[in-house]
Amino acid sequence: MEHWPRPTSPKDIKSFLGLASYYRRFVEGCSSIASPLTKLTHKKVKFQWSDECEKNFFELKTRLTTAPVLTLLDGSDG
C-alpha cells in the first residue's frame, strides 16, 4: 500500500479505492478523504488530478498503513 503509485486514470482510482474500502471501517474519515478521488471515477467527470486529490491520496495511504492494530480482548486483565 505504501508504494501504491499515483493513479493516472479512473480505472487506477477504482482499483485503489476498492482496496481502501475493504479497510474503511478502521480508518476514521475514510469516506470524506476519498471523496475527491471518488468524484474522478464518475463517467461524466473529466479526469483531472488536482492538488486536493494528491493530498487526499497520500493522506488515505498514510491512514491505511498506520491505522491502529486491532486485537481481541482476552478478558484476563480483570
Question: Residue 4: inside a domain, yes or no?
Answer: no
**Residue 56 domain boundaries:** 10-66
> Which pLDDT band, with edges at 50, 70 and 90, does 70 fall under?
low
Question: Residue 78: inside a domain, yes or no?
Answer: no
Report whether pLDDT(78) > 60.
Answer: no
Dump pLDDT digits (tens) for 17-61. 999 999 888 888 999 999 999 999 999 999 999 999 999 999 999
Question: Residue 49: inside a domain, yes or no?
Answer: yes
Question: Residue 22: inside a domain, yes or no?
Answer: yes
Question: Residue 3: inside a domain, yes or no?
Answer: no
**pLDDT for 27:** 87
**pLDDT for 45:** 94
Question: Residue 76: inside a domain, yes or no?
Answer: no
**pLDDT for 69:** 57
Question: Residue 17: inside a domain, yes or no?
Answer: yes
| CA pair distance 11, 8, nearest whole angstrom | 8
Question: Residue 77: inside a domain, yes or no?
Answer: no
Structural domain tally of the chain? 1
Name the residue among 73, 13, 39 with its Cα closest to residue 60. Answer: 13
